[in-house]
Amino acid sequence: MSTSAALRFERSSATREPRWVKWTLITIALAFFAFFLLLPLISVFTEALRKGWDTYWQAIIDPDALSAIKLTLFAAAISVPLNLLFGVAAAWAITKFDFRGKHFLVTLIDLPFSVSPVVAGLIYVLVFGAQGWLGPWLDDHDVKIIFALPGIVLATVFVTFPFIARELIPLMEAQGREEEEAATVLGANGWQTVWRVTLPNIKWGLLYGVILCNARAMGEFGAVSVVSGHIRGITNTVPLHVEILYNEYNFAAAFAVASILALLALLTLALKSWVEWRMHAEARHIPTINIPNRG
Amino acid sequence: MSSASIRRIFPGFNLSVGYTLVYLSLIVLIPLAAVALKAGQLGWESFWEVISAPDVVASYRLSFGTALLAGLINAVFGLVLAWVLVRYTFFGKRFIDALVDLPFALPTAVAGIALTALYSSNGWIGQYLEPLGITVAFTPLGILVALVFIGLPFVVRTVQPVLEDMETELEEAAACLGASRWQTFRRVVLPVLLPAILTGFALAFARAIGEYGSVIFIAGNIPMVSEITPLLIITKLEQYDYEGATAIASVMLVISLLLLLVVNGLQAWTAKRTGRSR
pLDDT for position A178: 87
pLDDT for position A16: 83
pLDDT for position B276: 56
Report the first-to-last Cα separation within chain A, whole angstroms: 21
CA angle A192, A195, A200 (to 5 degrees): 135
Which among B17, B35, B123 is the nearest to A99, CB-wise? B17
For A214, the 3-state DSSP assignment is helix
Which among B87, B125, B277 is the nearest to A6, CB-wise? B87
Which among A29, A117, A215 is the nearest to B84, CB-wise? A29
- The reply to whether residue A239 touches residue B108, judged by beta carbons under 8 angstroms, is yes
- The reply to whether residue B181 touches residue A133, judged by beta carbons under 8 angstroms, is no
Sign (positive or negative) of CA dihedral B224, B230, B231, B232: positive
**What predicted TM-score, i.e. pTM, was given to this entire model?**
0.90
pLDDT for position B228: 94
Phi, psi of B135 (to 5 degrees): -105, 120
For A:128-187, CB contacts with B below 8 A are 129, 131-133, 154, 157-158, 161, 170, 173-174, 177, 180-181, 184
pLDDT for position A175: 87
Q: Does A34 touch chain B (CB under 8 A)?
A: no
- In chain A, what residues touch B38 (CB-CB under 8 Å)? 126
Q: How far is B209 from chain A (nearest CA, A)?
A: 8
pLDDT for position A294: 37
Tell which residue, B248, B204, B17, has the closest CA to residue A93.
Answer: B17
Burial of A283 (0-12, 13-18, 19+ CB in 10 A): exposed
What tens-digit pLDDT sequence spans chain A (295 residues)?
Answer: 445 778 888 887 778 888 899 999 999 999 999 999 999 999 999 999 999 999 999 999 999 999 999 999 999 999 999 999 999 999 999 998 888 888 889 989 989 988 999 999 999 999 998 888 888 888 888 888 888 899 999 999 999 999 999 999 999 988 888 888 888 888 888 888 888 888 998 999 999 999 999 999 999 999 999 998 877 778 899 999 999 999 999 999 999 999 999 999 999 999 999 998 988 887 765 544 444 333 3
Rg, chain B, Cα only: 23
CA B275 to centroid of chain Cα atoms: 24
Q: How far is A139 from chain B (nearest CA, A)?
A: 18
Q: Does A38 touch chain B (CB under 8 A)?
A: yes
Contact residues for B199 (Cβ-Cβ < 8 A; gap 6+): B158, B263, B266, B267, B270
- Chain A interface test: which of B110, B116, B134 (most A C-beta within 10 Å): B110
pLDDT for position A292: 39
Chunked mean pLDDT (size 10), chain B, 278 residues: 53 88 94 89 89 93 95 96 93 92 94 94 89 88 95 94 88 88 90 92 93 92 89 92 92 90 86 66
For A:255-294, CB contacts with B below 8 A are 255, 258, 261-262, 264-266, 268-270, 272-273
Which among B12, B35, B163 is the nearest to A92, CB-wise? B12
The amino acid that residue A227 corresponds to is: V
Distance CA A164, CA A216 (A): 12
Contact A122, B251 (CB under 8 A): no
Contact B155, B82 (CB under 8 A): yes
Contact residues for A247 (Cβ-Cβ < 8 A; gap 6+): none
pLDDT for position A286: 52
Nearest-10 crossing angle of helices A117-128, B190-210: 40
pLDDT for position A11: 81
